[in-house]
Amino acid sequence: MTTTKTLLIAVTDIFFYTKIRDAFRPQGYTLTRIRNVEDWLTNVDNQSPQAIIANMNDDRLDVPNLLKTIKAQPKIQDVPILAFANHEEVGTWKLAKELGINKIVSRNEFSARTLPLLEEMLASTPPTP
């Protein structure tokens, strides 16, 4: 049985999304880009993602509210979440921890270690049922 390696990517910046895509696609991941709340609502019901990647500073997505929605949905509430944020925004980091994000890193670290960060998080997170 083949496991689909699907990632939901909550990032609206096309250039940053392209960097993420280029890191994951060669490794066999399928990416679904979440650009707005409607994308989120459509894809969350149709996907069984292996992980979610979210830009905590993306005002167009209101990521904190999206993450609250995720945690309220039994189908994906246990899907691991890798988030990144500006390192100087202490409140955002605290909020990420409160929301149950598995791993949060600075935008610079995420940019420099995109694939290894996801692999480290997945290795340390029990598989979702």
Q: Which residues have CB under 8 Å from 56's CB, separation 6+?
A: 63, 64, 83, 84, 85, 89, 92, 95, 96, 104
Task: Check residue 78 and give its pLDDT.
Answer: 85
- Contact status, residue 42 vs residue 10, Cβ threshold 8 Å: no
Q: Which fold has domain 6-124?
A: Rossmann fold (3.40.50)
Cα–Cα distance for residue pair 40/61, rounded to 1 Å: 9
Task: Check residue 128 and give its pLDDT.
Answer: 54
Which stretches does DSSP call E strand in 1-129? 6-10, 30-34, 51-55, 81-85, 103-106
First to last CA, the chain: 16
pLDDT digits (tens, 9 = 90+) for 89-109: 889 889 988 888 999 999 999
Task: Check residue 45 and give its pLDDT.
Answer: 64
Taking residues 33-42, what's their average pLDDT?
Answer: 78
Q: Which residues pair with 84 in a beta bridge?
A: 55, 105
How, if at all, do strands 6-10 and 30-34 pair?
parallel
